[in-house]
């Protein structure tokens, strides 16, 4: 174990970095209340030939960690595979949030509501601004890696504008279980990147606050496919299976009263209109409400927190692109069990 000495800079300058090996870079964004720098860790590798810059961001929400492992694993083999262009892994975008084990920045604000930030704004606004100005602006493409929020779990799904040819192809190459057509909304990093002309997709990788190999592995395969598509690495000889279920819209079901919630549908399962998806019990265990799917769709995410006040989230339901179209379940990410003889 002999960690490489990282470099410290106040702006990512790709041309200053060596070609053919991974650079470990800390980029200063702001300073804290003791006048110490708050820096963001980056992994950067450049190929021998010029080409696009693909950025991958993790932990914009400080408790969404699977993306960190995706970037670490990617960079284990990337230097020897690079042909052209540059890959920048922003290992942790929201450093204060990570330290606090929380989604938000350390002033309680959700960074993914305030991009592209404000140079002269509040603590979180300045941080978001500098993240964009000092790092993100240099990307030609962006993969923003997230997970579900506290108390919820997600399938492996991609949010992308499927009417935009570049982001639609990135979404399909990423090959998740589910693709949700979703034009970028104001304030998100994806939206700010798209405004800057950087095609961007959001990859939602399962659950918060965990490293989950079952979901990290297929996400990494998808990242490799995106990099190969843009010529940064050689395509893999084995073509990956590609059949994500595409939803053209989605919505959350909410409880209409408070109680103890039990959601009994599986992630990435198909439900039919009228199917029971959850029950709510009172303090004595009596069922006080049952929730049915108002439309047929696929379970993109769901609550796993039983303590459900009125208005608690229940199920994130994705709707298929054509009403009445025969529905199929997304692929399972479970590996086939090894045969025992």
Helical H segments across the chain, by residue range: 66-81, 95-99, 123-134, 165-174, 189-195, 213-229
Instruction: Pick the piece of the chain touching Zn ion (CB under 5 A) from 48-56, 57-65, 156-164, 225-233.
Output: 57-65
Minimum distance, C-beta of residue 183 to Zn ion, in the bound complex (Å): 17
Q: Which of 29, 47, 64, 318 binds Zn ion (CB under 5 A)?
A: 64
Tokens 């939803």 map to which residue? 247
Q: Which of 46, 61, 190, 316 binds Zn ion (CB under 5 A)?
A: 61
Q: Do 247 and 268 touch, CB atoms closer than 8 A?
A: no
Cα angle: 67, vertex 68, 73; to 5 degrees = 95
CA–CA distance, 230 with 4 (Å, rounded to integer): 29
Strands (E), 177-244: 178-181, 200-205
Minimum distance, C-beta of residue 61 to Zn ion, in the bound complex (Å): 4
Q: Which of 46, 134, 146, 331 binds Zn ion (CB under 5 A)?
A: 146
Helices 66-81, 213-229: inter-axial angle, 10-degree rounding: 40
Asked if 172 is part of the footprint of Zn ion (rule: CB under 5 A), the reply reads: no
Decide whether 113 or 321 has the Cβ nearer to Zn ion. Answer: 113
Asked if 46 is part of the footprint of Zn ion (rule: CB under 5 A), the reply reads: no
Minimum distance, C-beta of residue 146 to Zn ion, in the bound complex (Å): 3
Minimum distance, C-beta of residue 57 to Zn ion, in the bound complex (Å): 10
Q: Encoding tokens for residue 257? A: 């009263």
Instruction: Pick the piece of the chain touching Zn ion (CB under 5 A) from 115-123, 142-150, 218-226, 230-238.
Output: 142-150
Residues that bind Zn ion (CB under 5 A): 61, 64, 146
């Amino acid at each position: 174990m002999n960690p490489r000495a990282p470099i410290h800079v106040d702006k990512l300058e790709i041309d200053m970095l060596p070609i053919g090996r991974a650079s470990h870079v800390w980029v200063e964004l702001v300073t804290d209340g003791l006048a110490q720098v708050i820096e963001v860790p980056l992994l950067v590798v450049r190929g021998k030939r010029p080409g696009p810059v693909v950025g991958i961001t993790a932990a914009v929400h400080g408790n969404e960690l699977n993306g960190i492992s995706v970037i670490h694993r990617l960079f284990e083999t990337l230097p020897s595979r690079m042909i052209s262009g540059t890959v920048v892994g922003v290992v942790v975008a929201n450093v204060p949030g990570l330290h606090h084990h929380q989604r938000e920045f350390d002033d309680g604000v959700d960074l993914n509501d305030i991009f592209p930030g404000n140079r002269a704004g509040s603590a979180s606004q300045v941080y978001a601004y500098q993240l964009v100005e000092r790092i993100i602006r240099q990307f030609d493409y962006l993969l923003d890696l997230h997970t579900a929020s506290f108390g919820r779990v997600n399938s492996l799904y991609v949010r992308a504008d499927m009417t935009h040819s570049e982001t639609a192809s990135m979404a399909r190459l990423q090959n998740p279980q589910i693709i949700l057509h979703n034009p970028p909304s104001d304030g998100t990093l994806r939206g700010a990147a798209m405004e800057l002309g950087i095609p961007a997709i959001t990859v939602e990788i399962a659950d918060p606050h965990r490293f989950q190999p079952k979901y990290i592995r297929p996400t990494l395969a998808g990242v490799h496919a995106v990099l190969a598509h843009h010529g940064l690495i050689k395509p893999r000889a084995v073509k990956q299976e590609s059949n994500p279920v595409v939803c053209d819209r989605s919505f959350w079901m909410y409880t209409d009263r408070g109680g103890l919630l039990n959601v009994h549908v599986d992630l990435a399962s198909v439900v039919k209109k009228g199917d029971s998806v959850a029950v709510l019990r009172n303090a004595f265990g009596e069922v006080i409400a049952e929730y049915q799917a108002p439309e047929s769709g696929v379970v993109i995410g769901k609550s796993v927190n039983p303590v459900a006040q009125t208005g608690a989230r229940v199920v994130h339901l994705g709707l298929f692109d054509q009403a009445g179209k025969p529905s199929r379940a997304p692929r399972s990410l479970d590996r086939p069990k090894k045969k025992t003889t």
